Structure 1
Amino acid sequence: MRASTHAAGLCAALVLLGGCATRGPSGALPPALSDPRAIEAAEQGQSQREQWLREHPQWSFEGRVAINNAGKGGNGRIEWQQDGTAYVVSLSAPVTRQSWRLTGDTRSGAGRLEGLPGGPRHGEDAEVLLLQATGWDIPVNALAGWVRGLQAVGFPVEERSFSTEGRVQTLRQAGWQIDYTQWTDAQDSRPELPSRIEAQRDQAAVRLLVDRWDFSAP
């Protein structure tokens, strides 16, 4: 079965959640920090966040995702579980009760995709595997960093700016622009974390809304 057929089936299932996504990231961001002293303070705060997150390599989140590639895509629920460099990402369409699971490792880049007609698929590059099987251009090997407001390992940073609150506002890596439009407040020792992330490259866009973060060890 061709990849285009798989993609059509997945989009048809996700449409039942509320319609195919037809827009990429939206809304203008407020002006970024420009004062050198304020930027330096924001960089220091970011370094502290990064240190805490490096010390907590096991984490997960639940939320909602909208995927768009050249005007075609859909919406669904997403669950992400991370253990070091290994991850399991589950996407589900509650109305149809269909679900798909991607298992991979950011170190090797390889992945296994389950839930497709014909059985699981394997690939040396999880992003290529997803694109061929579903038509979705999703930077899964970089998202583990981006979703936490960190730069992805292995890619040079083209640009990074901070909001007036001292939080990362825009990050450019690997041809993608990642905009952080909402954050959750710090809780206990846990630092602030993104709750709405919008990423775009060319005609591909991913919008992610995080409902719950969990950094407790399994």
Structure 2
Amino acid sequence: MKPAFLRPLLLAALPLALAACTSVGNQKTPVPDVAYTVPPAAERAEAARVQALRAQPDWTFQGRVAVSKGKNGGSGRIDWSQQGADYQVQLSAPVTRQSWRLQGNTLQGGGRLEGLDGGPREGADAAQVVQDATGWEIPVNQLPDWTRGLVLQGTDENGLQRDAEGRPRRLQQAGWVVEYLDWHAGEGDQQVLPRRIEATNGDAKVKLVIDQWGTPGP
């Protein structure tokens, strides 16, 4: 049974999740195909993209997220701010006006979840803190790389399939399958970055639509 503070959120989240899935399904941009041969120019462009993103440790994004685990799920707005290994995630459900904030560090792995009845919760594993509090399985320590279309550092690319532009199309890591369904075009100093991502691990699923990428303010 879910904690009492989650019941209004989950009840309101079901129509939101359905609306999110419908809007994603109606996107006009075709999903990229897996490419079994990537042109050398595309390989070089992707290597340059990865290098540039690795050199930019501070970034933000705003978007929408739908999370499900079996029959339980929720959705809402998500704001992610990353500064080096430190991250802060704000998730809000517009209908109920409920929100929570997760703070963590990808190198240390721990996290603190605020906005819950009964006070904050924290632990040595941020993903476990979220799962214990909400029942949702979210790979929070991997998302800083995956959301930018990067393979986890210190791992090989055996589980990676690319599209014709050399970008990740399907990635298998840490027990998850991550699908890249659409991308934001690079403009000026802004690199090409994902727009739509779906990650699954058994009956756990995370759908993410990133509306805007940016950099943290002063």
TM-score, structure 2 as length reference: 0.87
Identical amino acids, percent of aligned pairs? 43
Deviation at 1:14, TM superposition (A): 2.8
Structure 2 CA distance, aligned partners of 1:215 and 1:21? 25
Greater shift in the superposed pair: 13-22 or 192-201: 13-22
Instruction: Report the equivalent of 2:36.
Output: 34
| Structure 1 counterpart of 2:67, one-letter code | I
Secondary structure of 2:142 counterpart: helix
Quick check: 2:9–2:93 contact (8 Å CA) kept in 1? no
Root mean square deviation, CA, Å: 2.7
Deviation at 1:158, TM superposition (A): 4.3
Deviation at 1:191, TM superposition (A): 1.6
Alignment of 1:16-55 (within 5 A): 17=16, 31-35=33-37, 38=38, 40-55=40-55
Quick check: 1:157–1:173 contact (8 Å CA) kept in 2? no
Greater shift in the superposed pair: 44-53 or 185-194: 44-53
Greater shift in the superposed pair: 164-173 or 199-208: 164-173
| Structure 2 counterpart of 1:100, one-letter code | W
Alignment of 1:70-109 (within 5 A): 70-109=70-109
Greater shift in the superposed pair: 81-90 or 49-58: 49-58
CA pair 168-97 structure 1, distance change in 2 beyond 3 A: same
Instruction: Report the equivalent of 1:126.
Output: 126
Q: How big is each residue's C-alpha offset from its partner over 1:13-32, in whole Å with a ceiling of 9 and x where there is no partner? A: 43464559899x98996541
Q: How big is each residue's C-alpha offset from its partner over 1:64-121, in whole Å with a ceiling of 9 and x where there is no partner? A: 0000101320110000000000000000011211110000000000000001110000
Q: Which runs of 5+ in 2 are unaligned?
A: none
CA pair 158-200 structure 1, distance change in 2 beyond 3 A: farther
Structure 2 CA distance, aligned partners of 1:132 and 1:6? 13
TM-score, structure 1 as length reference: 0.87
Instruction: Tell me the number of residue pairs that the alignment of Structure 1 and Structure 2 aligns.
Output: 214
Deviation at 1:216, TM superposition (A): 5.7
